[in-house]
Amino acid sequence: MIGLGLTRGFLVTLRNFVRSPVTIQYPDRHVGLFGAAKEAGMNPFRFLVGRPGDSIKAIAGLATVPVKLEQSPRFRGNEFTFFEDRCTACASCAKYCPLGIIEIVSVPGKIDALEGESYKLEVFDIDIGRCMFCGLCVEACPYDALHMGTGFEQSTYVRDELILTLDVLNAAEKKPSSFYRPQFEENAFDPFAETIENHYDAGRHERPSDEDMKKRWVDERWTNDD
Ligand code: SF4
Ligand code: SF4
């Protein structure tokens, strides 16, 4: 019918005009007196009496509170979670990185150093300033030592600070993403609410012990060659 399209168009405009906004303020949002009191864990009256300065700010619309965004456990942030105890220094992650931004230096490990049947890390650097967070290094890691992280607020003014060294990785909170890690999803692990303290809980299977590696790469190899 002539004219109906126009009415429908106006109705769409009207519906969007009255619906609540979908914009989320980040990293802080403005709150009034009630919001500020709730954030402080107090009722508004106690907040008004106990913190008059903050109350005036809140009434004037100047108070802000940090916003916590809800994200999927599979979210990939711009950091990594690393469990050195799971790492064999095999360098698969470095080989698979299309940008070549993982630097690994390893030295012979504990048993039969000259045979080199086990290795330990001396350098493990990831330059996240050049990383595209594709996750290929994480997919390539055979022992689930390297995981995508869930933190995403790593911006800095100095490029050198974007290099994650072994010390930085070891000291970081272990909040790995569930990306390419079905064991986390099966256990309903929530990186935004909990951490993984024990490296045994981070993988599907364990790295071989030094004794197993010696058996596989030294004892059996020499036996087979004979
Ligand atoms: S996420 Fe991709 S670009 Fe970044 S280090 Fe891993 S493989 Fe390289
Ligand atoms: S993080 Fe994984 S892929 Fe990289 S060196 Fe260690 S065990 Fe190998």
- The residues, any chain, with a CB within 8 Å of residue 101's CB and separated by 6 or more, are 126, 127, 130, 131
Task: List the domain boundaries for the chain.
Answer: 25-68, 80-202
pLDDT surpassing 70 at residue 156: yes
Reported confidence tier of residue 224, pLDDT bands at 50, 70, 90: low
0.85 exceeded by the pTM? no
> Which CATH architecture best describes the domain 80-202?
2-Layer Sandwich (3.30)
CA angle 81, 204, 144 (to 5 degrees): 30
Q: Is the CB of 202 under 6 A from ligand 2?
A: no
pLDDT surpassing 70 at residue 113: no
Q: Is the CB of 138 under 6 A from ligand 2?
A: no
- CA dist., res. 111 & res. 213, Å (int): 9
Mutational test site, ligand 1, from 131, 138, 146, 154, max ligand atoms within 8 Å of CB: 131
Per-residue model confidence as pLDDT tens digits over 18-54: 998 888 888 899 999 999 999 999 999 999 999 999 9
CA angle 127, 133, 138 (to 5 degrees): 90
How much is the pLDDT for 226? 53
Q: Are strands 146-148 and 119-127 parallel, antiparallel or unpaired?
A: unpaired
